[in-house]
Amino acid sequence: MDNFIVSARKYRPATFHQVVGQDSITATLQNAIKNNHLAQAFLFTGPRGVGKTTCARILAKTINCDKLTDELEPCDKCESCTSFNNNASFNIHELDAASNNSVDDIRNLVEQVRIPPQIGNYKVYIIDEVHMLSQAAFNAFLKTLEEPPAYAKFILATTEKHKIIPTILSRCQIFDFKRINVEDITNYLGYVAEKENIETEIEARHIIAQKADGALRDALSTFDQIVSYSGNKVSYKDVIENLNILDYEYYFTVTDSLLNNDIPNLLLIFNEIIENGFDGQHFIVGLLEHLRSLLVLKSPATIGLMHASGSLKEKYSHQAGNCSSDFLLNALQTCNKFDLSYKGSSNKRLHIEIALLELSSITATPSSAVPNLESKKNAVKPIIEEKKPEYKLSPAQVEKPIGKKDDSEKKLPSEQTSKKEDNAAKKITPVDSGNGRKIKNISIKQSLEVLRKKNDDINEVPESIIATEFSLEKLTEIWELFIVSYIAKSPSFANAIAKYKPVLKDGFEIEYKVDSMIIAKDTLSVTSLLEFLKKELNNNLITLKPITPEKNEQKVAYTDSEKFAEMTKKYPEILKLKDKLNLEIEF
């Protein structure tokens, strides 16, 4: 039985040309080799699985090759290349800083650097996961990294650049590796599949590439897993079953049902998803991605942000044409809200069902404000009279106060009255309850609309200007009255504004001091103070301006003992009373 080699190792790039998705970095390194401008130390940083260690090995192999090709690639024929390919090179050393992170390990490395190469041009030290080195190890490495021998090159690789001390960063040329895009990973998976004689669907490769999140190594590992499951033919269905991914057809159907306000179908689809073993949050996150894809397809400028195969992208484009931008934005906000609150919900299935109901209400018409949740089959619909009975009210009945009952209440108005609120609140539809009685179906929405319009009418009346003059003494008196009346409601606010006297400025602006602006942000208390001043001083042009005092002005709160000392200075009889009653006061 042959030993199986995973695709990530078997198809690991051996030349700069084979590196996927890092063209700018490989071109820079080749130009440095061509012009003999190699730095003494390199730092390769970026996410996992994007080719940092691979590029480090290719660079080490290339600079030691005796017969470079015209494309500045290693020849794979010279002694240095063959020894590297057989893992027997004495000039290229790899160190895993995760397990060799002590100062002694770095000292041993520094001792090895002193020995020049016996074969080849350079001794190259590749230190992987360099951020794992200890502080002492970093310090022991500084001098050697800054002034190494001419034959020594250091290549550091890390996924967490922020953990490396600045003195190390300043001594290296830094190369930031980027995530590999979905298209490049998809194409490389197709190349590997062709080499292995495996048939793959492009949708299947796209799903694997999206799941890899920019890491080619992860994509190859997932590809091996799918091949082990499905054999030499990898289909889209095999991928979603093995990776537990919800089929995109569900999201297309759900979106169509949302646009048509088809609530029964939405609930049935979600029930099928739950029965197939998928989590509610898994569904809502997938719906978020689906809606986001539809949104980016609404504009030609953002089409490139949509990662899908050609046929699938056409399907997305068709559905995006049926969705308005407002619907997609509102739906994204709703899904995000329910995703964030999912973990805190006790009934998680109901939580997602409520999310679907709220999403469907975005496209609901006013006539469908109360949705019919009954199933389409054998649905029992309420019997509603098609013709509304017409009633007429006498002037006395129209003006009759609410609460008084007489025979006129048996008749229900359906025409406009002289008052706006009566017109909306009394607009009802008699419904037969089944036993001959008529039930009033009153619209709460219309009643709220009446109240809103009534408030708008009130707000439209401009407030008359009252600009009564007042003195600082009067202001101080009213200020103290407010403090006395408000201390029971908010002691912290009352005590804070009591520490300093208010100052009257031009234009009836009152400047008051607070030790912290947090006090001034107590909107309820500040509003109460302003309304109190306007009323008591008979002036509605008053404005408040909080400021913080200078450090030498700030008053420190008295302790209990200091308060008692101040009281005895003002009222000496307190000490006599204390001695007479033989009291002991503890502070």
DSSP 273-286: HHHTT--HHHHHHH
pLDDT score, position 155? 93
pLDDT score, position 461? 54
pLDDT score, position 313? 78
> CA–CA separation, 413 vs 400, rounded Å?
13
Chain position carrying tokens 């350079």: 122
Would the pLDDT of 5 be above 80? yes
Would 7-176 and 248-368 be classified into the same CATH topology? no
C-alpha distances out from residue 324 to 294, 298, 321, 328, Å: 10, 9, 8, 6
What are the domain boundaries of the chain? 7-176, 182-242, 248-368, 413-459, 472-547
**Cβ atoms of 238 and 200 closer than 8 Å:** no
**Cβ atoms of 180 and 307 closer than 8 Å:** no
> CA–CA separation, 36 vs 371, rounded Å?
74
Which has more confidence, 353 or 424?
A: 353
308-337: per-residue pLDDT in tens?
Answer: 766 677 888 888 888 888 889 999 999 999
Would the pLDDT of 261 be above 60? yes
Would the pLDDT of 209 be above 70? yes
**Cβ atoms of 316 and 297 closer than 8 Å:** yes
422-472: per-residue pLDDT in tens?
Answer: 444 444 445 444 444 444 455 555 655 665 665 555 555 566 788 888 888
Question: In degrees, to the nearest 5, what angle opens at C-alpha 353 toward C-alphas 347 and 354?
Answer: 90
For the record, the structure tokens of 321 come out as 């044409």
Chain position carrying tokens 């302790």: 559
Which has the closest alpha carbon to 447: 405, 402, 408, 404? 402
Which has the closest alpha carbon to 142: 150, 133, 151? 133
Question: Which CATH code, of 3.30.420.40, 3.40.50.1360, 3.40.630.30, 3.40.50.300, is assigned to 7-176?
Answer: 3.40.50.300
For the record, the structure tokens of 198 come out as 């495996």
Which has the closest alpha carbon to 7: 184, 204, 226? 226
**Cβ atoms of 49 and 13 closer than 8 Å:** no
Residues in the chain: 587
Would the pLDDT of 137 be above 70? yes
Architecture of the domain made up of 248-368? Up-down Bundle (1.20)
Architecture of the domain made up of 182-242? Orthogonal Bundle (1.10)
Which has the closest alpha carbon to 154: 118, 110, 107, 103? 110
355-408: per-residue pLDDT in tens?
Answer: 999 998 887 654 444 444 444 444 444 444 444 444 444 444 444 444 444 444
pLDDT grade for 77, boundaries at 50, 70 and 90: confident
C-alpha distances out from residue 67 to 59, 73, 395, Å: 14, 9, 109
Which residues make Cβ contacts (< 8 Å) with residue 236, sequence separation at least 6?
A: 201, 203, 204, 207
pTM, two decimal places? 0.55
265-284: per-residue pLDDT in tens?
Answer: 989 989 988 888 888 888 99
Helix (H) or strand (E) holding 166: helix 166-169
Strands 428-432 and 199-200, sheet pairing: unpaired
13-43: per-residue pLDDT in tens?
Answer: 888 898 998 889 999 999 998 888 888 899 9
> CA–CA separation, 459 vs 576, rounded Å?
62
pLDDT grade for 416, boundaries at 50, 70 and 90: very low
**Cβ atoms of 6 and 220 closer than 8 Å:** yes
C-alpha distances out from residue 128 to 21, 47, 87, 100, 493, Å: 21, 13, 17, 10, 58
Least confident of 81-90, 167-176, 570-579: 570-579
> CA–CA separation, 191 vs 197, rounded Å?
10
pLDDT score, position 450? 60
Which residues make Cβ contacts (< 8 Å) with residue 195, sequence separation at least 6?
A: 11
pLDDT grade for 557, boundaries at 50, 70 and 90: low
Architecture of the domain made up of 472-547? 2-Layer Sandwich (3.30)
